[in-house]
């Protein structure tokens, strides 16, 4: 079955790097995603990675995928107060377009 897990909280200082981790169980995942949710808002796609890649960089964001360990991480360089939000990882497995989301990691950026 599908199960996606994340740690609940992360606190960093402004300017530091943040690393948010995620583990998943479905080895047939084709794509893995990172979504951001600000208070009172819907989810916004930040980035995604195809399962045959092990790294993807997009400006301040770096996604690392360890397919053997089913571990996904999101690194945010030079974290800013505007990055404070809940971050969800999600996987797509099998046919169709169903995403399974993790429980979310609340990132708090302190001055």
Using CB under 8 A, list all residues that contact another protein.
Answer: 4, 8, 30-31, 33, 40-45, 48, 50, 88, 90, 92, 95-104
Cα–Cα dist 111/104, whole Å: 23
CB of 48 to another protein, least distance (A): 5
Nearer to another protein, 14 or 61 (CB): 61
Cα–Cα dist 31/73, whole Å: 14
Nearer to another protein, 82 or 95 (CB): 95
CB of 106 to another protein, least distance (A): 9
In whole angstroms, how far apart are CA 42 and each of 6, 17, 56, 87, 88? 19, 25, 24, 12, 12
């Amino acid at each position: 079955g599908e199960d996606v897990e994340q740690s609940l909280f992360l606190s960093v200082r402004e300017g530091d790097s943040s690393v948010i981790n995620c583990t998943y169980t479905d080895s047939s995942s084709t794509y893995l995603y990172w979504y951001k949710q600000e208070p009172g808002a819907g989810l916004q796609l930040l980035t995604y990675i195809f399962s045959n890649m092990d790294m993807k960089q997009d400006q301040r964001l770096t996604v690392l995928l360890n397919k053997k360990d089913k571990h996904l991480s999101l690194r945010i360089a030079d974290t800013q107060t505007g990055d404070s939000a809940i971050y969800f990882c999600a996987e797509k497995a099998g046919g169709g377009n169903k995403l399974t989301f993790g429980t979310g990691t609340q990132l708090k950026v302190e001055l």
